[in-house]
Amino acid sequence: MGVKCSQYLGGLDSLVLFVVNENSGNGRGKKIWAQVEAQLRIQGTAYGKVVTKSESEAITLVRDFLKRGNLKAIAVVGGDGTLHSLLPVLATSGIPYGIIPSGSGNDTSRALGIPRDPLKALDIIVAGYTRRIDLLETATESGDKQLTLTAVAVGLDAMVAADVNGSRYKKWCNKLGIGSLAYVIGLLRALAKYKPGPITVTMDGIKHEFKRGWLSAISNVSTYGGGLQICPDALPDDGHLHVCIVHSCSVRRILFIFPAVLTGNHVKLHRFVTILSGRSVTVQGAAPMLAFGDGEPSGETPISAVIRPRQLDFLITASG
């Protein structure tokens, strides 16, 4: 069960609401919040807080705060999953959104230049500079829609995300401060059972067919999976979605391609990697494939995605 807790400093003045995921990063969120809260008290910054272990509860409590009308910003102390859970509430709120990263992957903070140092990240939130960024909106065949900030993984990489989320090794990787290693372990485990097959990627109405497709990563930012440079040219405010398709190769070749993803050099392997960009895309396979957005379940193929330009005000550095 989640823990409900809120606190105000500064009376009825406008304040920053912090949504704290204590479980993020295997408990790192709780430790980071202690540092942040101590600094807020020293600064005399007006703030509220929601401490929760449940995403659904966080949404309810944030909505309650929004109704009171005295928020100047909302900041998550957590990871990409915590950010993801609040997108339906905040994408239309007009309230600036920020993050103090404490998750495993932290791809949002990485893409937007938010430092891992919690007090430096806090400085950005208090300063109040924003950048309007794009969002991805996915829709499944059943009509279920979802907003995603970083990337939608389809196929092998979605299976990796599912394996990591349900694993014990993720906890140990976080304890050791090497959360990205969990994605490497998940990849090796997924490769042992994943079977590639025909996929069709339709970008802005143009079909691209691949007989032996492994994955289709639909990206709004350059990295996912804890820093993998899956679409190195993607920018969160360029008005386009970017898709990386890995195809036509063996398991052995996948293991060769994977290290290149760390630096983005996989995009040069044109026989096995195709990069597309546009405003709308549909991914369909011969058989249903899992899809994960921001590391969270998004349904299965066929799945469509469109770009929602400049949908969210995000707190960044003044030069960001």
Identify whether residues 81 and 148 lie together within a single domain.
no
pLDDT at residue 178 is higher than 90: no
pLDDT confidence of residue 156: 96
Residue 6 pLDDT > 70: no
What span, in angstroms and rounded, lies between the C-alpha atoms of 103 and 226? 10
Q: Are residues 145 and 85 in the same domain?
A: no
- The pLDDT of residue 128 is above 60: yes
Within a domain: 265: yes
50 and 166 belong to one structural domain: no
pLDDT at position 5 is 40
Domain that holds residue 254: 136-310
Tell me if residue 281 falls in helix, strand or coil: strand
pLDDT of amino acid 25: 67
Q: What are phi and psi of 99, to 5 degrees?
A: -145, 140
Clarify whether residues 193 and 275 are in a common domain. Answer: yes
Mean pLDDT, rounded, of the chain: 89
pLDDT at 79: 85
The one-letter amino acid code at 25 reads G
Residues 152, 301 within the same domain: yes
Task: Please give the Cα distance from 108 to 115 (Å, whole number).
Answer: 11
d(CA 115, CA 313): 18
Can you list the positions of beta strands (E) in the chain? 15-21, 47-52, 71-78, 97-101, 130-140, 145-148, 151-155, 197-203, 206-219, 241-247, 273-278, 280-285, 290-293, 296-300, 303-315
Q: 9 pLDDT exceeds 50?
A: no
Average pLDDT rounded to a whole number, residues 237-253 = 96
Which residue among 60, 93, 128 closes a domain?
128
Domain boundary residue among 93, 112, 128? 128
